[in-house]
Amino acid sequence: MRRKWLTGLVFLLVLLVFFWIWRKEKTSRPVVSAMQNSILPPKEPLWAAPDSNTIPNNDSGHLIRYGKKLISSTARYFGPGGSLAHSSNGMNCQNCHLDAGTRAWAGNFGSVASLYPRFGDRRGNTETINQRITDCFERSMNGSAPDSNSLEMKAMNAYIRWVGKDVKKGKKPPGTGLEILAYIERAADPVKGKVLYSKKCQLCHGMNGDGKPDSVTGYLYPPLWGEHSYNTSAGLFRLSKFASFIKDNMPYGSSYINEQLTTEEAWDIAAYVNSQPRTIKKFKQDWPNILLKPVDLPDGPFADSFPSEQHKYGPYAPIVASRKVRK
């Protein structure tokens, strides 16, 4: 009788131990999976630029290397204290086209050679690489471009074509240019954006968005608004371009693999920055066909009846629905 009791007790104890181990397993599982999450392989690798050490050591190589210098140190040549001309706002092309236009989803030049000349909606006509470079000089750099026949234009053109030399004509591999960020359902909110800006951007770009100048290299931290920033006809003045750029690249040090902003945060910060003062510049020849205007372009006339405010901040979905195609 006593023996039976004892075996019963031992059996119960063994059961309890099993139960305890099983519980422990179960409760510890979420921790394990959270850890696994943090060591998941990075997102699929995207387009990568050719190695700059492979730029040939001949005349065409020298031209390419000069083009690279002009794009990474534009201010030295064309800034307010530039050695060739004083024809731009003091920014460098690579402030927006990171690593001289070679970094994935960071405004790189990967698919310029493959796609240009191409039809440009803004121009309403065919656009060449030189015309596209000129556009950035006049808008993003708020200045004027060197002549198309100048050595400098030839060099930038050669460099940009070298960056995209391995992409087949007509192709746009993932990772080239900017990633297109999804719209949010509500209007982007400059008030929320201001709070986020003070937490995540102000440290480098400054409370007044004027950045931090550096007498030699242009800017240590480039300006985001004010008289030295891009003007109102620049690509970044559209909320979609700004939000897309910062989602993958800002705060500085983040990347598409290691993003530090949510989609909503990116839109709200874009709304705040692009509601601050900057040089107003309009080009009469822009958007000759208003049907081709992107929905987030705030300047009328529009091909629909939505107010300018909604074109600027959204929500864009109703505008898109009214047009059936996203532009």
Cis before 315 (ω within 30):
yes
Among 172, 44, 48, smallest CA distance to 99 is for 48
Residue number with CB closer to ligand HEC (24 or 119): 119
Query: Which residues ranging from 137 to 156 are in contact with ligand HEC (CB under 6 A)?
Result: 137, 140-141, 156
Among 92, 247, 251, 221, smallest CA distance to 156 is for 92
Minimum distance between the CB of residue 303 and ligand HEC, rounded to whole angstroms? 21
User: Rounded distance, CA 24 to CA 46, Å?
Assistant: 41
- Interface residue with ligand HEC among 49, 63, 75, 112 (CB under 6 A) is 112
Query: Which residues ranging from 248 to 267 are in contact with ligand HEC (CB under 6 A)?
Result: 250-252, 261
- Interface residue with ligand HEC among 55, 158, 184, 224 (CB under 6 A) is 224
Minimum distance between the CB of residue 186 and ligand HEC, rounded to whole angstroms? 19
Measure CA of the first residue to CA of the last residue in the chain; give whole Å.
Answer: 86
Q: For residue 134, give the amino acid letter.
A: T
Minimum distance between the CB of residue 43 and ligand HEC, rounded to whole angstroms? 19
- Interface residue with ligand HEC among 73, 87, 102, 111 (CB under 6 A) is 111
Question: Helix-strand-coil percent breakdown of the chain, rounded to 5?
Answer: 45, 5, 50
Q: Does 201 help bind ligand HEC (rule: CB under 6 A)?
A: yes
Residue number with CB closer to ligand HEC (111 or 310): 111
- Interface residue with ligand HEC among 222, 293, 302, 313 (CB under 6 A) is 222
**Where does this chain touch ligand HEC (CB under 6 A) — which range of 22-30, 228-236, 276-284, 296-304?**
228-236
Residue number with CB closer to ligand HEC (39 or 69): 69
Total of chain residues touching ligand HEC, rule CB under 6 A: 46
Residue number with CB closer to ligand HEC (221 or 287): 221
Q: Does 63 help bind ligand HEC (rule: CB under 6 A)?
A: no
Q: Does 49 help bind ligand HEC (rule: CB under 6 A)?
A: no
Q: Does 230 help bind ligand HEC (rule: CB under 6 A)?
A: yes
Instruction: Return all residues near 23 (Cβ < 8 A) that are at least 6 apart.
Output: none
Q: For the purposes of burial, counting CB atoms within 10 Å of the CB of 18, is it exposed (0-12), middle (13-18) or buried (19 or more)?
A: exposed
- Interface residue with ligand HEC among 64, 113, 243, 269 (CB under 6 A) is 269
- Contact yes or no for 106/98 (Cβ under 8 A): yes
Query: Which residues ranging from 168 to 197 are in contact with ligand HEC (CB under 6 A)?
Result: 177-178
Per-residue tokens: 285: 């020849």
Residues across the chain: 327
User: Rounded distance, CA 141 to CA 78, Å?
Assistant: 10
Q: Does 87 help bind ligand HEC (rule: CB under 6 A)?
A: no
User: Rounded distance, CA 32 to CA 93, Å?
Assistant: 45
**Where does this chain touch ligand HEC (CB under 6 A) — which range of 38-46, 201-209, 285-293, 307-315?**
201-209
Instruction: Return all residues near 279 (Cβ < 8 A) that are at least 6 apart.
Output: 142, 227, 229, 231, 232
Strand partners, 254: 252
Q: Does 73 help bind ligand HEC (rule: CB under 6 A)?
A: no
| SS3 state of residue 1 | coil
User: Rounded distance, CA 289 to CA 119, Å?
Assistant: 12
Question: Where do contacts with ligand HEC occur on this chain (CB under 6 A)?
Answer: 71, 74, 91-98, 107, 109, 111-112, 132-133, 136-137, 140-141, 156, 160, 177-178, 200-201, 203-205, 221-224, 230, 234-236, 241, 245-246, 250-252, 261, 269, 273
